[in-house]
Amino acid sequence: MNLYLSEKLKALRKEQGISQEKLAQYLNISFQAVSKWETGVTTPDISLLPNIARFYGITVDELLQVEKIDEDKLYKEYEEKACDMYRNGKRAEVLTLWQEAYQKMPRNIEVKEMLMSTYYDVDVKQYQKEIIELGMEIYNSDAHGYYKGQAISALTSVYLEMGNDDLAEQWIKKATSIFNSQEVLYTRMSKGDELIVDVSFCNHWFLQEMYYGACAVIKKGGKDAKYEQSVLETVAKIFETVYRNDDMGFEELKKLAHMYLRIARYEAQTTKHTDIIRGHLERAKVLAEKSLTVREHTLRAPMIDGWHINAAPSDHKRICCFVRKELHDACFDAYKEESWFLEIITALDALS
C-alpha cells in the first residue's frame, strides 16, 4: 500500500507541476515529510488525506487507488486465463471463470462485458435473462463507448433470438454508424505509425464482420445456392488478399477453412465438378495444416500492418479435427472412395 500511495503522490505532483514545498506549505508540514511519502518511507496521517485529495482536485478513493490497482491486476489475470481457455475451445470453463470474476469484481465494467459476451457465446437462449440484465447495466452506466456498443450488440442479438424484432430495432437505432465510429474517425486524425495501427485494427475487424455477414447470407439470405457460393468465394479471396500467404491467426484460418468447405459442399450439391471440389477440400486441408504452426508475431502486410497474431493454442489440432469431421457430410459420399479424397482423410487423420 505504501508503494502504491507513494507512486500516486509523486505522479500527481509531477503531472500538475507542483513542488514538494508548495504541497507542504498548503498542508502546513515540512517538505521533508512530503519527500518521505513519495519515497515510501512513511505515509501521510489519515487526517491529512482529505486535504491532499482536495489539493489535487480528486477524491480520497482516487488518491488511495489501492483497490483499483489490485482490481486491474486481478482482471488481467482472469483475462489471460480466459483467453487461453477460449482459444482451446473451452467455452463452458470460460463462463465459470468470468462468473467467479464477477463475484469478486461486481462493479468492474470489463468483467461485466466479458461475462455478458461469454453468456452469449455459450448459449444465448439459456442465458437470455443474464445477457439482458448485464447489457442494460453496461448501457446505462458511464462506460466508454466500446462497452456500450458491445451491450447494444448483445441486446440486439438476444431480442432477435427471442423473435422480438421491435425491441431489437430500438437497440439498433441506439448504435453509432460504422462510418462515424471512434475507430474509423481516429484513422482521420492519427498519423505515421499510429495511423498504420489504427487502419490495421479497423481492417481486421471489418474482415471478421465480412465473414459473419457471409454466414448470415447463407443462413437467411433467401438467394439460391450459386449466389451463396459466390459470396463465400468473394470473402475468401478478400481474406487471402489481405492476409498474404495465409499469414493470419488461428481463428482466421478456421474461418477460411470453413468457407472452402462450404464452397465444396455447394459444388457437390450442384455442379458436381470433381476437380473443383477436390481443389477446395485440399485447400481446407492445407489451412488446417498451417493452423498447427501459427506462431506469435506481428503482421507486416499492407492494410493489416502491425496487427498482433497469437501463437496457436495448446489444443492446436482443433481445426484439423473440424475439417476431418466436415468431410463426413453426406454430400461428399460420392467421392469417399476416390484416391485423392482418401489422401486428404489420411493426411488429416495423421494431423489430428
Q: Which residues contact 254 (CB under 8 A, 6 or more apart)?
A: 291, 318, 319, 322
Is the pLDDT at 81 greater than 50? The verdict is yes
User: Which superfamily, per CATH, for 2-64?
Assistant: lambda repressor-like DNA-binding domains (1.10.260.40)
pLDDT at 3: 52
pLDDT digits (tens, 9 = 90+) for 262-311: 999 999 999 899 999 999 999 999 999 999 999 999 999 999 999 999 99
Does the predicted model carry a pTM greater than 0.85?
no
- Average pLDDT of the chain to the nearest whole number: 91
Indicate where the chain has its CATH 1.25.40.10 domain(s): 76-175
pLDDT at 2: 47
Is the pLDDT at 249 greater than 90? The verdict is yes
Is the pLDDT at 325 greater than 50? The verdict is yes
pLDDT at 1: 41
Indicate where the chain has its CATH 1.10.260.40 domain(s): 2-64
Exposed, middle or buried: residue 93 (CB in 10 Å: 0-12, 13-18, 19+)?
middle
> How far, in whole angstroms, is CA 55 from its chain's centroid?
40
In the block, which residue shows the cell 505515421?
192
C-alpha cell at 301: 502486410
pLDDT at 7: 81
User: Which superfamily, per CATH, for 76-175?
Assistant: Tetratricopeptide repeat domain (1.25.40.10)
> pLDDT tier at 318 (50, 70, 90 boundaries)?
very high
Question: What is the 3-class SS of 133-191, one letter each residue?
Answer: HHHHHHHCCCCCHHHHHHHHHHHHHHHHHCCCHHHHHHHHCCCCCHHHCHHHHHHHHCC
Question: Coil, helix or strand for 301?
Answer: coil
> pLDDT tier at 170 (50, 70, 90 boundaries)?
very high
pLDDT at 332: 96
When computed from its CA atoms, the radius of gyration of the chain, rounded to whole angstroms, is 27
Distance CA 16, CA 26 (A): 15
The sign of the CA dihedral 220, 226, 229, 230 is negative
Distance CA 57, CA 63 (A): 10
**What percentage of the chain reaches a pLDDT higher than 70?**
97
Provide mean pLDDT across the span 138-145: 88
C-alpha cell at 337: 472412395
Who wins on pLDDT, 144 or 98?
Answer: 98
Is the pLDDT at 69 greater than 70? The verdict is no
- What are the distances in angstroms from CA 147 to CA 79, 213, 323, 337? 16, 22, 34, 52
Q: Which residues contact 248 (CB under 8 A, 6 or more apart)?
A: 239, 256, 299, 309
pLDDT at 144: 80
| Amino acid occupying residue 110 | E
pLDDT digits (tens, 9 = 90+) for 193-230: 999 999 999 999 999 999 999 999 998 887 888 899 99
